[in-house]
């Protein structure tokens, strides 16, 4: 539970005791699953990038009319000098 509280503090989340317990239970479930995967012997198995094997059909690039900057910024809650204004994250 302590690790969940530390992570919540880093992310500035206010978790109730019930929420922290729920997260801890689900995190433990995931870690158990990852441990089972980690136990699988994969020696001699080539890594895969995609299950499609590189034969996926590609679509053509088609130029389309884009919205203007002004139209997009009109729907922004805040803007500054022609850009979206967002809260600082650090």
What is the structure's pLDDT at 48?
84
Residue pair 20/5 in contact (Cβ under 8 Å)? The answer is yes
Q: Between the CA of residue 30 and those of 13, 45, 66, what are the distances in Å?
A: 21, 24, 42
Give the dihedral of Cα atoms 18, 20, 22, 23; nearest 10 deg: 160
Q: How many domains does the chain have?
A: 1
What is the structure's pLDDT at 33?
94
- Give pTM, 2 decimals: 0.42
Domain that holds residue 32: 1-40
Condensed to tens digits (0 to 9), the pLDDT of residues 38-53 reads: 999 999 998 888 777 7
Instruction: Note whether residue 80 is domain-resident.
Output: no
Instruction: Note whether residue 63 is domain-resident.
Output: no
Instruction: Note whether residue 87 is domain-resident.
Output: no
User: What are the φ/ψ torsions at residue 80 (nearest 5 degrees)?
Assistant: -145, 115
Confidence of residue 56 (pLDDT cuts 50, 70, 90): confident
Instruction: Note whether residue 83 is domain-resident.
Output: no
Instruction: Note whether residue 4 is domain-resident.
Output: yes
């Amino acid at each position: 539970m302590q690790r969940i509280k530390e992570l919540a503090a880093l992310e500035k989340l206010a978790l109730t005791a019930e929420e922290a317990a729920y997260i801890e239970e689900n995190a433990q479930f995931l870690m158990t699953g990852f441990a089972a995967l980690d136990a699988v012997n994969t020696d001699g198995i080539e890594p895969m990038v995609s299950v499609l094997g590189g034969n996926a059909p590609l679509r053509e690039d088609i130029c389309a009319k884009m919205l203007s900057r002004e139209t997009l910024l009109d729907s922004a809650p805040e803007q500054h000098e022609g850009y979206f204004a967002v809260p600082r994250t650090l």
